[in-house]
Amino acid sequence: MNAPASFDAQSGSGGERERLIVIGNGMAGCRAIEEVLERDPERYDIVIFGAEPRVNYNRIMLSPVLAGEKTFDEIVINGQDWYDKNTITLVSGDPVQKIDRDRKMVVSVSGHTEYYDRLLIATGSDPFIIPVPGNDLSGVVTFRDLDDVDKMLAAAEGGGNAVVIGGGLLGLEAAHGLSLRGMNVTVLHLMPTLMERQLDEAAGWLLKEELERRGQTIRIGADTQAILGKDGHVSGVQLKDGTEIEADIVVMAVGIRPSTGLASSAGLDTERGIMVDDHMVTSDPAIMAVGECVQHRGACYGLVAPLWDMCRALADHLTDQPSGYEGSVTSTKLKVSGIDLFSAGDFSGSDGSEDIVMRDASRGIYKRVVVQDNKLIGAVLYGDTADGNWYFDLLKKGEDISDIREALIFGQAFASGSTSLDPNSAVAAMSDDTEICGCNGVSKAKVVGTILGGATSLDAVRSSCKASASCGSCTGIVESLLVLTLGDDVEEGAKTMCKCTGFGHGDVRKLIVEKGLREIPQVMQELHWTTPEGCSSCRPALNYYLLCAYPGDYIDDQQSRFVNERMHANIQKDGTYSVVPRMWGGLTNPKELRAIADVVEKYDAPMVKVTGGQRLDIFGIKKDDLPAVWADLNAAGMVSGHAYGKSLRTVKTCVGSEWCRFGTQDSTGLGVKLEHMTWGSWMPHKFKIAVSGCPRNCAEATIKDFGIICVDSGYELQVGGNGGMKLRGTDLLCKVETEQQVMEHCAAFVQLYREEAYYLERTAPWIERVGLEYVQSKLFDDPDALGEYAQRFYYSQSFCQDDPWAKRADRERADLHSHIAELRPLALEPAQ
């Protein structure tokens, strides 16, 4: 038996600390312990028993694991380090089978025993298996834990047919994952509406239509009579109308029941669930229960938000703080197969209630709010759930909506008088006490406070206040708060791509390559975009990712570029444009200066300015004149400076050893070579290079994306600098001896950045995200890696084409190929 040295088995009292035993290593049990530790970390010696042979993970995120969008490691909530740090003993893979209340002892399946002062039961729920013949055949699985996911993945490897019984959330997520894995999926649902507990008939119909459009077969009103088998393994499903459907795997997802068996056998009061009071205490004062297994004031909850409320009340009780749980008013905000859904309150309607409905078929949006006595009593949203939290706040507070009734269906921004179509405006209009994350009970004020306290990325917010850390349905709102609070200082790479998709930038990049997706519409179809054409955030990103993945094959989609990139000019606040021709390394000559002067006079440009990148910027050019302006500049051999682009901007130089008495190397000549090598290459964000001829650093190389400091022994290569709003000095990548090494290292670094950074993520936040050591390991650990990255960069450059308005002059193209030939005397072909 395991007991503290000072433990009295009869009295159940311990030594300095009380012994707290937790039955259940799931989300509720561990969250309760987190809350206890936050209040009084020294109060208890804690032992947690888990039925699964693994650490605590986010069960809600099993669906992305099944779909191949996440790995198990990515959904772990508390790794082994958390147990070790808090001196928690984890007994995993060995569930408790008996509670001895007289001796205050629990016994596991293996015979492991532990005594307790306090016992917490968090056994969750059990999947409901419909009582039909064949339900015990091999190949019939449920969808509750990682073992179930592993069984489904094993079945999907062979392809074939899958039948999912149940059209609720779990069933549809299982169907979505198996469909993505290549199986032919049929969903059988007994009721006439999918997810009837969360959706009304109209929203359920829209969901059915969308899932069928994606290739699933949905049969509503389908009553299962038997599961058919052959040689002990499932072979099909028979319906009561006689229909037979072939199946290589059958997923039971028809519902869950509170897991009360252990508590009932111990003599605790149970009905549908384990009965608890407002402090989560059972009929035994030493035993508490929390989560899906409990029944509180006659209600059992299967949503995360009420569970977290229970955990907070429980922790208050265990640390002698006055509190209590009074039940929860619940809402449901979900993402089903990539489709946003929200519901709250009584959306079925009743006598005296009124419906306000909006349908936008082209955008796949449906909204319905139910009003009674000038109060909101229910809401259903399909496709656009941005205002779900606001509706839920109105519902909970019972506020009078008569003054905003006409604008109610259009959302908070319109109801508050805003005419902006920016989705961030609705978030800005939310009151500080609006609940942003229902799963974790986090208000807008708390999220903003966390951001102002230094959380500049989505991951940082999640780890600090847990908003968006559970089901993820509030991710878009948290991202909007990041943008509204920080502006350009938000770490772009940590965000999901946009409101059109639940995928992050990294997932999209990976799936484009893994699935061989080669066109923007194909990406949107395969990755289940929720909008038909995407938006101004995702289309440029997808265009870049495809351009980077398939150089030479992918045709650049000009309409997916920002207007500045399409026009090769910067739009100004008065609607005119500024034009910046390239000056290689900051050098110019009389021919180029005359051409610029002629353009200024010919097109009546009101201002010419020297830029910080050693070039001339011509302001006030009318849009209609841009083609002619570029034709005149091209005639003088001048090409676009890409001052507008997510691409190489400038290569800043000092005069170096040719003129300066302190110069150690030819910094100007090297800068010109680097600019010829890298110009026109599209990047995740703007990219700046500088070459300083000596450590005095007149070209400011230590605040550039790639900087070179010339020294007596060669060159110091610096990376990841930023001189903008958030100043960041560079990190030393390495030292090299020759110009050729500088150029090869530059090409390799640029290509690594192009392949792995997220769109709109500059090198500074990228390096802070992945770490300098990671960059160095990718380039230098494998002796062939540097050359391979450089070769892929040269290959992509060989296909670089510009808009006809600013096409490469023949001389520059010849120079580019000359430099490539010097560095890599190979045919221009992709690295294998």
Annotated binding-site residues for [4Fe-4S] cluster read 654, 660, 694, 698
Distance (Å, rounded) from C-alpha 612 to C-alpha 602? Answer: 25
Extract the runs of DSSP E, i.e. beta strands, from 221-364: 224-230, 233-239, 244-246, 249-252, 256-258, 274-276, 287-289, 294-296, 331-336, 339-345, 354-360
Binding residues for siroheme: 698
Helix orientation angle between 785-797 and 772-780, rounded to the nearest 10 degrees: 90
Helix orientation angle between 810-823 and 785-797, rounded to the nearest 10 degrees: 160
Q: How far is CA 118 from CA 2, 19, 98, 308, 697, in A?
A: 15, 6, 15, 20, 66
First to last CA, the chain: 61
Strand partners, 18: 44
For the chain, helix (H) and strand (E) counts, in that order, are: 26, 40
Binding residues: 654, 660, 694, 698
Distance (Å, rounded) from C-alpha 694 to C-alpha 712? Answer: 8
Distance (Å, rounded) from C-alpha 808 to C-alpha 587? Answer: 18
Distance (Å, rounded) from C-alpha 108 to C-alpha 24? Answer: 12
Structure-block tokens of residue 66: 């099944």
Distance (Å, rounded) from C-alpha 346 to C-alpha 349? Answer: 6
Which residues, 6+ apart, have CB-to-CB distance to 362 below 8 Å?
532
Q: Which amino acid is at 108?
A: S
Distance (Å, rounded) from C-alpha 185 to C-alpha 189? Answer: 13
Distance (Å, rounded) from C-alpha 363 to C-alpha 530? Answer: 8
Distance (Å, rounded) from C-alpha 43 to C-alpha 47? Answer: 13
Distance (Å, rounded) from C-alpha 618 to C-alpha 606? Answer: 8
Distance (Å, rounded) from C-alpha 259 to C-alpha 145? Answer: 15
Which residues, 6+ apart, have CB-to-CB distance to 810 below 8 Å?
none
Distance (Å, rounded) from C-alpha 740 to C-alpha 52? Answer: 56
Gyration radius (Cα) of the chain, Å: 31
Distance (Å, rounded) from C-alpha 726 to C-alpha 754? Answer: 21
Distance (Å, rounded) from C-alpha 8 to C-alpha 18? Answer: 12
Q: How far is CA 733 from CA 261, 383, 771, 772, in A?
A: 61, 46, 11, 8
What's the chain's length in residues?
832
Q: Is the dihedral of CA 247, 253, 254, 259 positive or negative?
A: positive
β-bridge pairing 687-692 and 706-711 = parallel
